Amino acid sequence: MPFMRPVQIVQELGGADVHTSKSGVADHFAENEPEALATCREVLEYVGGTSAAQPEVEPEEPLLDPEELLGLIPEDNSKAFEVRQVIARLVDGSRFHEFKARYGSTLVCGFAHIHGYPVGIVANNGILFGESAQKGAHFVQLCGQRKIPLLFLQNITGFMVGKAYENGGIARDGAKMVNAVSCVDVPKITVIIAGSHGAGNYGMCGRAYDPRFLFTWPNSRISVMGGAQAAEVLATVKQDQLKRQGKAAMTSEQLQEFKQPTLDKYEAEGSPYHSTARLWDDGIIDPRDTRNVLGRCLRICSRAPGSGSTGAYGVFRM
């Protein structure tokens, strides 16, 4: 066994790296005291208040051009992209104070201003794991305590599945996030910027969780699961059925023919035009107009920020 210095052992048992990236006990990592003090100032900038009737700061344009949003989102929703690049083109001065940046990295949470109004942003940067859900629940409750409106940017295929994750309590962790989102007493705004599938739609404040406003982008898709995944599941079930009946398995051409009706159905009914025609959202917006639309929504929400309930408990350390 290699020798480990006492400092290394201490760091592994309870250092800053462990508690900001693995345990999630600490929210921010600082290399030194000046960096820690600067982080504290940023935290205090978003302590919230009793009223959101007026913008907190002077509005300013993002440093990064919102026109570039059209080039950031891939045509294929199955391809990943960096959601922080989207946030940087929506918020004032492209400034984003991230919360637990090193923990549960597939969910990006943090504070910013849009047209001068404070907002807590919850955005997908991949599939939701248990750590991501715990982080989201903690952040949503924190915004509720500080009376800061929430903005959800949805690009989600769902929560992680599999035996190891079920044994690890993904259902419990996901329930914490869903509970926090459904109960928080601040205005909620949702924008579906790419895919919105499965239980991830619930955790990220889909229509059933009563956001004040819900908008979609033209490239977005919404369904219980992606069309390709649904077609693959049905094809697997069919192949297993043929095997039990002692029949030959379908060829690749037959498989494609079998899958095509499902793919076509999901393509048509998962379209944002299909959902908006049924009033499942408040409209399809041009990605480049998102910042201005959100500014108007926050102004409307500021007139009725919530019931004023303080709640019976503080923020849980999930």
Residues 135-187 pLDDT 10s = 999 999 999 989 999 999 999 887 777 777 676 677 888 889 999 999 999 99
* 9 contact partners, CB below 8 Å, separation of at least 6: none
pLDDT of residue 7: 53
Coil, strand, or helix at residue 51? coil
pLDDT attached to residue 2: 42
Separation between Cα atoms, residue 197 and residue 270, nearest integer Å: 10
pLDDT exceeds cutoff 50 at 32:
yes
Q: For 27, which DSSP code?
A: S
Amino acid at 64: L
Query: No. of H helices and E strands in the chain?
Result: 13, 7
Rounded to the nearest angstrom, the gap between the alpha carbon of residue 8 and the centroid of all alpha carbons in its chain is 35
Band (pLDDT 50/70/90 cuts) for residue 4 is: very low
Q: Can you tell me the distance from the alpha carbon of 9 to that of 7, in angstroms, rounded to the nearest whole number?
A: 5
* Assessment of whether the complete model's pTM goes beyond 0.85: no
Per-residue pLDDT of 78-126, as tens digits, reads 788 999 999 999 999 999 999 999 898 999 999 999 999 999 999 999 8
Write down the H helix ranges in the chain.
6-14, 16-21, 33-45, 69-72, 83-87, 130-146, 163-167, 170-183, 200-203, 227-244, 252-269, 272-277, 290-302
| pLDDT for residue 18 is more than 50 | yes
pLDDT of 304 > 70? The answer is yes
Confidence (pLDDT) at 82: 93
Decide if pLDDT at 302 tops 80: yes
Residue by residue, DSSP assigns 56-68 as SS-----SS-GGG
pLDDT band at 19 (very low <50, low <70, confident <90, very high): low
Per-residue pLDDT at 23:
66
Tell me the pLDDT tens digit for each residue of 226-257: 777 788 888 889 888 888 989 888 888 888 88
Question: What confidence tens digit (pLDDT) does each residue in 39-84 have?
Answer: 777 777 777 665 554 677 889 999 999 999 999 988 877 788 999 9
* HSE-up of residue 78 (Cα within 13 Å, Cβ side): 5
133, 203 Cβ separation under 8 angstroms: yes
* CA separation, residue 167 to residues 50, 160, 175, 199, 297 (Å): 42, 12, 15, 18, 41
**pLDDT(192) > 50:** yes
What integer is the mean pLDDT of 212-238? 87
